[in-house]
Amino acid sequence: MIRQIQDGSVQSETHNGITTIEFFHPQSNSLPAKMLAELAQEIHFAGTHEETKVIILKSTGDKTFCAGASFDELVNIQTEKDGLLFFSGFANVINAMRKCTKLIIARIQGKCVGGGVGLAAAADYAIASDRADIKLSELAVGIGPFVVGPAIERRIGVSAFSSLAIDAASWRNSEWAKKKGLYSEVHESFENMDEGVQKLANTLAHSNPAAMTELKRIFWEGTSHWDVLLKERAAISGKLILSRFSKDAIRSIKTK
């Protein structure tokens, strides 16, 4: 199934027990609200789909896995209600990944920024290329990685998360991300990366579904409060994005 969303799309297909969910947006695979809603819906559906044994989450292209929030939408947010609604889109995707009963493999072919790091962290196993540098740029535009923070902190720890959040202008390379636990594997070529993704997906597709569901439940123990927590975090970002600092910073970046 392919859902066209303005200039972007979310595509889902299932073969031999493996459901691949692929998203695309011409602006470096950034995520507007409609794409976030579709991603959450597709992940939820795959989790309840009997034929699906394992999920691969990927994006189109070879440069950027995900540039995070759509700047076009961020700059046009005018009320706290609208801000809450937009950032709740990221909360809904992360919670869909968290509550999905199927294991999710993230294929990270390129750079991750902001919400893109959150997607990588919310996956159960991330396989990346050596081009997959990461950055949490939110503070540079007057907000912070509030919504994606719990997923990232859970994956890499408070110290590494705080370093990324505070030094919002600097990139960390894929080896740093692997060392901290964000990526499970890093490969020097796309071919090796894709081989690793497919090999693991095939293995899991032939594993005991009940055992994998129980593993996932254990992996995510202690996060049942995230339905409320991430909405609270979305409200913080939704308020901060209204500041003159944020609006000016985003416009400045968009004009570069």
The string of pLDDT tens digits covering residues 111-169 is: 999 999 999 999 999 999 999 999 999 999 999 999 999 999 999 999 999 999 999 99
Find the length of the chain: 256
pLDDT at 31: 97
pLDDT above 60: residue 4: no
Q: Are 75 and 247 in contact (CB under 8 A)?
A: yes
pLDDT at 163: 98
pLDDT at 7: 78
Instruction: Give, as one character, the DSSP assignment of residue 172.
Output: B
Each residue of 66-121: pLDDT tens digit?
999 999 999 999 999 999 999 999 999 999 999 999 999 999 999 999 999 999 99
Sign of CA dihedral 15, 68, 172, 96: negative
Each residue of 28-71: pLDDT tens digit?
999 999 999 999 999 999 999 999 999 999 999 999 999 999 99
pLDDT above 80: residue 255: no
pLDDT above 70: residue 6: no
Which of the four CATH numbers 3.50.50.60, 3.90.226.10, 3.30.930.10, 3.30.70.120 does domain 2-194 have? 3.90.226.10
Distance between CA atoms of 251 and 254, rounded to whole angstroms? 5
Q: Are 182 and 117 in contact (CB under 8 A)?
A: yes
pLDDT at 212: 98
pLDDT at 99: 98
Distance between CA atoms of 128 and 151, rounded to whole angstroms? 18
pLDDT average, residue stretch 190-219: 98
